[in-house]
Structure 1
């Protein structure tokens, strides 16, 4: 496993936690077993101290002790421990035994027994201290008896108990590590299945990844599916543009070729004006079609990659109309176009500037080509929508094609020019941005194209026609 992999980090963190738990459990087990060993042997050690204290007798001027060697024999049955003792009178004077054993402890003045750990001659020992009151001819008082033994037997028992406890604990930890490795590998199986599935796919297969993954991976799979859906929508749009270009350009190009061949075969005395007009007409049709298809491709690309930003609608509209007037002037045409805006004079709204420019240009171009009289662009807003109305005084849209006007390549049969793509492109793009387009018949005659755009558009990913 590589260091920057999730599996390595999971295994590392889990191993550190298990190691810390192992050390802590070892410390706790050692302390508990040591305490258990002390409790097991303290009873015998205390009994030996009591036996010695009961043999103390006080004479007129002396203290005698009859040591019960049977008690020492019991303590020394292991053959490893060494036994020490010390007896002091009420004044703290040594009666018999080792003079420094338990010297750090305060003498007891009541009937009780205590146990403590100590160091004697560089050996760790366990000591029991017993106080007992004795009285004789020379007086009385509390005598203290200290009995100590080295810890060899206790430590041996503690190690055995710790071994009994730690062995299954360590075995459980080893099994936990193995199960952890298996669990990590099993948890990443869905990702490996997704990886293998994507590797086997052809580049053209952008279908969604099938469900059935853990909850933690669902968000990743949904994101991948969303990306592939958007990519598929973009590719479908580009494929449609390419197919439309190949299909629709075939007719005007074939017409240009046929007319040019007729012109070549014509007699020298035959006028060429008619041939030239027909070639020019078909060339114009092909040019318009190419321009519309390029506009569609540019808008599809902008839907995926372009970001929304504050747009000054009045300024943008005036800039688009100025560009259109310049193009018309070059073509020796000068349409009358006016803009009316009150409430949006100094307002901006959040939108894709490329889309708003192309949509405005497309609709106004349609009004110039197919409408009559002056053209008016009205800008307004209502609640959370921005409204753009482009009004002309043309003949409007015939009833027989009004229901299909947003379909691709559907156009007025009475119109010689135009590709039938303009409104279809606008409709598709506006819907993708969460807006809507309406075609209204004006009471005074003409057509009104009304765009309703959201102030904060959410781009949809489906670009199908």
Structure 2
């Protein structure tokens, strides 16, 4: 299953931030509750003391004069409900709510104690103090319990928590944004490596020359080493192909010459037919060898020579004249319409030898597989130049329309051709940073269109030539 390291880092960072936020929220809430309790406990204790000061212990028993101020202090919030209970030294309830604080043992020293409790299903906070009184009938420790519900406390705790958490939430959001930007920035060298590989010439196997972090330095080194080995292998294959083609040219030329000499003599059938077949095969093999050598030379030329401005109008007429001279003894030439000599010069950026081979292969393909008239058109396409070669032939067979520019793809209905011409054209177009496509003409025939750059381009997209 595929996964993204960038997304994993982002998810992990977000999980950590959320976990930190939740833990911080819990701690802040607990501290806020504690701070709220400390603030209100002082008031609650003061109310209990003011009640204790009104207790009198005499002959008639215990009397308590509950001061209004004690409850007025606690009731300032207007939300809390207040409860109290007074217990005499014998443990008997003197007045107040009988069950308030009954879970706590009585105190027998001058101290105060605060605790949480429940009353009628509600949480309450209770202050317990012990006060010693001595009267005519003796003395003892009285316990005073004063409780209140937590509405005001919770409100204060909520406000304190919100004041503390708001900056924390903003800090987490800002931290998340910074983490996203940091992760994207950290992965930018990988995107540069990707662009460096994607936008280079298809035949460029030079090392990746991009500043990379130490963490991926080994990976880039391995890629460079692999490309160096691949370049050595491809160079070896190209050299073997060129050498084989060169070595085959001599015996093929001899075979072709001897077969042509034999055909000039009086031969009986079927010997003449056999010699004719030998001659045809020799011509096909010679063409294939020449194209293989041309391909190897072009690839080397495209890698080593810099591109320059080429007058495509002049080049088209020059290549067309040479091509017609070569083919006039092999086939009957159709009418060929060339760009006018007086047309405005149209310059493109490229390798002149490679562009000449491109025009030649397109023209030969139209002559050998199409029907006349064959026309070469040139025109501007925004800032680029469009080269169009048109014929009135049958077009591209359905069987090869998706693989037309692949190597050794030929019309299954014809024996002639090597299947390399359009493949070489596609490689030249890709190396020049252009585009190539074909379309069937409305009234029959084929149009192959090539878009070439009229200005230098630093980045060539290997996926453009299709």
User: Under a length normalisation based on structure 2, what TM-score does the superposition of the two structures give?
Assistant: 0.52
Q: Distance in 2 between matches of 1:145 and 1:103?
A: 12
Match of residue 45 from structure 1: 44
Corresponding residue for 2:106?
107
Q: Secondary structure at the match of 2:167?
A: helix
Q: Is 1:95 the counterpart of 2:78 in the alignment?
A: no
Please say if residues 61 and 138 of structure 1, whose CA atoms lie closer than 8 Å, have aligned partners that are also in contact: no
Preserved CA contact (<8 Å) 1:89 1:142: yes
Note the 1:77-226 alignment, pairs <5 A.
77-226=76-225
For residue 175 of structure 1, give the secondary structure of its aligned residue in structure 2. Answer: helix
SS in 2 for 1:77: helix
Kindly indicate whether the alpha-carbon contact (under 8 Å) linking 2:193 and 2:210 is maintained by their aligned counterparts in 1.
Answer: no
1:101 is paired with a residue whose SS is coil
Distance, in Å, in 2 between the alignment partners of 1:139 and 1:3 is: 87
Match of 1:188, SS? helix
Structure-2 separation of matches of 1:258 and 1:98: 129
Q: CA RMSD in A?
A: 2.7
Would you say the 8 A contact 2:100–2:145 is kept in 1? Answer: yes
Q: CA deviation at 1:56?
A: 1.7
CA distance in 1, matches of 2:2, 2:111: 63
**1:19 aligned onto 2:57:** no
Q: How far 1:60 moved relative to its partner?
A: 2.1
Residues 156-190 of structure 1 deviation map (CA, whole Å, 9 limit, x = unaligned)? 11111111111111111112222222222222222
8 Å CA contact 1:134–1:141 kept in 2: the answer is yes
Specify the SS of the correspondent of 1:76: helix
Counterpart mapping for 1:396-415 below 5 A: none
C-alpha contact 2:192 2:210 (8 A) present in aligned 1: no
Q: Specify the SS of the correspondent of 2:141.
A: strand
8 Å CA contact 1:3–1:9 kept in 2: the answer is no
C-alpha spacing 1:145/1:3, structure 2 compared with 1 (3 Å): farther
Corresponding residue SS for 1:208: coil
**Residue in structure 2 matched with residue 227 of structure 1 by the alignment:** 226
SS in 1 for 2:220: helix
CA apart distance, 1:44? 1.1
Q: Cα 1:255–1:149, aligned 2, differ >3 Å: closer, same or farther?
A: same
Residues 168 and 264 from structure 1, CA distance in 2 versus in 1: closer, same or farther, beyond 3 angstroms? closer
Q: Which residue of 2 aligns with 1:58?
A: 57
SS state at 1:126 partner: strand
Q: Which aligned pairs between 1:62-461 and structure 2 lie closer than 5 A?
A: 62-247=61-246
Q: Secondary structure at the match of 2:59?
A: coil
CA distance in 2, matches of 1:237, 1:218: 28
- Can you give the 5+ residue segments of structure 2 that lack an aligned partner in the other structure? 265-466
Give the C-alpha shift of residue 42 in structure 1: 0.9
Quick one: distance in 1 between partners of 2:63 and 2:187? Answer: 81
Aligned to 1:148, the other structure's residue is in SS state strand
Alpha-carbon separation, structure 2, partners of 1:260 and 1:178: 79
- Partners of 2:32 and 2:262 in 1: CA distance: 113
Q: Deviations over 1:113-155 (max 9, x none)?
A: 0101111122211111001111111121111000111111111
TM-aligned CA deviation for residue 70 of structure 1: 1.2
Answer whether contact 2:126 2:147 (CA < 8 A) is retained: yes
> What is the alpha-carbon distance in structure 2 between the residues aligned to residue 8 and residue 30 of structure 1?
32
Q: Residues 239-283 of structure 1: CA distance to partner in whole angstroms, max 9, x if unpaired?
A: 232333345566777789999999999xxxxxxxxxxxxxxxxxx
Q: Following TM superposition, where does structure 1 have runs of at least 4 consecutive aligned residues deviating by more than 3 angstroms?
A: 243-265
SS of the residue 2:77 aligns to: coil
Distance 1:150 1:3, change over 3 A: farther
Q: Encode CA deviations 1:16-51: one digit per residue, 9 max, x unaligned.
A: 222221111111111010100111111111111122
**Cα distance in 2 for residues equivalent to 1:17 and 1:131:** 49
**2:129 and 2:145 in contact (8 A); partners too:** yes
Q: 1:259 to 1:80 in 2, by over 3 A?
A: closer
- Helix, strand or coil at the partner of 2:76: coil
Residues in 2 aligned to 1:262 and 1:73: alpha-carbon distance in whole angstroms: 132
- Asked if structure 2 preserves the Cα contact closer than 8 Å seen for 1:118 and 1:125, the reply is yes
- Alignment match, 1:461: none
Q: 1:4 to 1:260 in 2, by over 3 A?
A: closer
Kept in 2: contact 1:207–1:228 (CA 8 A)? yes
1:114/1:259 Cα in 2 relative to 1: closer, same or farther (>3 Å)? Answer: same
Distance in 2, Cα, partners of 1:250 & 1:122: 106
| CA shift digits 1:214-247 (9 cap, x unpaired) | 2222222112111101101111222232333345
Report the alpha carbon displacement of residue 54 of structure 1 after superposing the two structures with TM: 2.2
Matched residues in 2 for 1:128 and 1:242: separation? Answer: 100
